């Protein structure tokens, strides 16, 4: 079975890849974005099966298929369970809710191997499926590594995101976790009513701000519980930050 993974969260992609390997399946490619996926399809033979995350960092999955039209079967992988019914109405093999369960993955692969009909895509139906209500849909959870295990962290439990030494981290009230997402990508995935990028290095959650103090150069220092990193609103963002607090 030739299969590929299209997934923008690197920990989730690696986790799915390992689950597939345990079942004797080796993905021929792991792709992280709309742009990378389009380039791959244009230069490689199409796979038998695509494990497809619906919402990617640089767009919605259907944008891939506006440029290329493979006949591959699809197994949707996403954190948004309200789209399960719609996914089954499309010509997909199955729908896997993150974090992916090993037995459910095994059953989905079995279902794919048992199906005999040729896959025929209706691009308009796919676009309707993936775009409806997703334009205003923001990240609800993140998959993170905790020791040798994976766990999900609900977005509303994250106090801030911070980057240092070329790595990104998310903070909760209990601890911090490394993530494979840049702050620039996060800006498009988070609800701007709740999160604000105060500098090149930090994004904060409004409900976790405990204190705001004035700082030199018309800047502000933000104190967030259990976060030791110094969070300073940059001079360029200070005015927008005040407007955000008032909105």
Residue 136 belongs to some domain of the structure:
no
What is the band of 120 on the pLDDT scale with cuts at 50, 70, 90? low
**Each residue's pLDDT tens digit, 196-239:** 999 999 999 999 999 999 888 778 999 998 888 889 999 888 98
Q: Residue 158's pLDDT band (boundaries 50, 70, 90)?
A: very high
Structural contact between residues 47 and 4, judged by C-beta atoms closer than 8 angstroms? yes
Indicate the residue among 131, 162, 177 that finishes a domain: 131
Domain count along the chain: 2
As a whole number, the mean pLDDT across the chain is 84
Given the DSSP bridges, would you call strands 59-60 and 141-146 parallel, antiparallel or unpaired? unpaired
Q: What is the pLDDT of residues 7-30, one digit of tens each?
A: 988 888 999 999 999 999 999 999
Q: Is residue 136 reached through a cis peptide bond, with omega within 30 degrees of 0 on the bond before it?
A: no
Q: Would you say residue 85 has pLDDT above 70?
A: no
Among the candidates 131, 155, 184, a domain finishes at 131
Q: Is the pLDDT of residue 161 over 60?
A: yes
| pLDDT-based confidence at residue 147 (cuts at 50, 70, 90) | confident
Higher pLDDT, 114 or 120: 114
> What is the pLDDT, as a whole number, of residue 216?
81
- Give the least confident one: 76-80, 119-123, 221-225: 119-123
Is the entire prediction scored with pTM above 0.95?
no
10-22 helix and 102-114 helix, angle to the nearest 10 degrees: 60
Same domain, 121 and 149: no
What CATH number is given to the structural domain containing 233? 2.40.50.1020
Segment 63-88 mean pLDDT: 73
pLDDT at 99: 78
- Find, among 225, 199, 197, 221, the residue nearest to 210 by Cα: 225
The answer to whether the Cα torsion of 176, 179, 182, 186 is positive or negative is: negative
CA distances from 134 to 7, 24, 54, 141 (A): 16, 34, 9, 15
Q: Which of the four pLDDT bands, split at 50, 70 and 90, describes residue 184?
A: confident
Q: Which domain holds residue 126?
A: 3-131
* 168 plus 234 within the same structural domain: yes
pLDDT recorded at residue 215? 84
Does residue 66 lie in a domain region?
yes
């Amino acid at each position: 079975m030739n299969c590929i993974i299209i997934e923008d969260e690197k920990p989730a992609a690696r986790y799915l890849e390992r689950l597939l390997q345990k079942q004797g399946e080796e993905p021929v490619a792991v792709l992280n974005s709309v742009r990378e996926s389009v380039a791959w399809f244009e230069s490689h033979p199409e796979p038998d099966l695509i494990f497809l995350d619906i919402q990617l960092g640089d767009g919605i999955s259907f944008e891939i298929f506006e440029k290329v039209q493979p006949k591959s079967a699809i197994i949707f992988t996403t954190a948004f369970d309200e789209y399960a019914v719609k996914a089954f109405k499309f010509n997909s093999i199955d729908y896997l809710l993150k974090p992916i369960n090993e037995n459910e993955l095994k059953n989905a692969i079995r279902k794919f191997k048992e199906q005999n009909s040729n896959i025929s895509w209706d691009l308009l139906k796919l676009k309707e499926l993936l775009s409806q209500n997703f334009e205003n849909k923001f990240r609800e959870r993140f998959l993170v590594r905790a020791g040798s295990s994976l766990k999900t962290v609900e977005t509303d439990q994250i106090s801030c995101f911070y980057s240092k030494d070329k790595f990104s981290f998310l903070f909760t009230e209990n601890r911090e976790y490394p993530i494979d997402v840049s702050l620039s990508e996060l800006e498009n995935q988070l609800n701007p009513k709740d999160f604000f990028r105060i500098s090149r290095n930090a994004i904060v959650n409004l409900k976790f701000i405990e204190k705001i103090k004035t700082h030199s150069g018309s800047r502000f220092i933000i104190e967030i519980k259990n976060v030791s990193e110094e969070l300073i609103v940059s001079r360029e963002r200070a005015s927008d930050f005040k407007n955000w607090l008032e909105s």
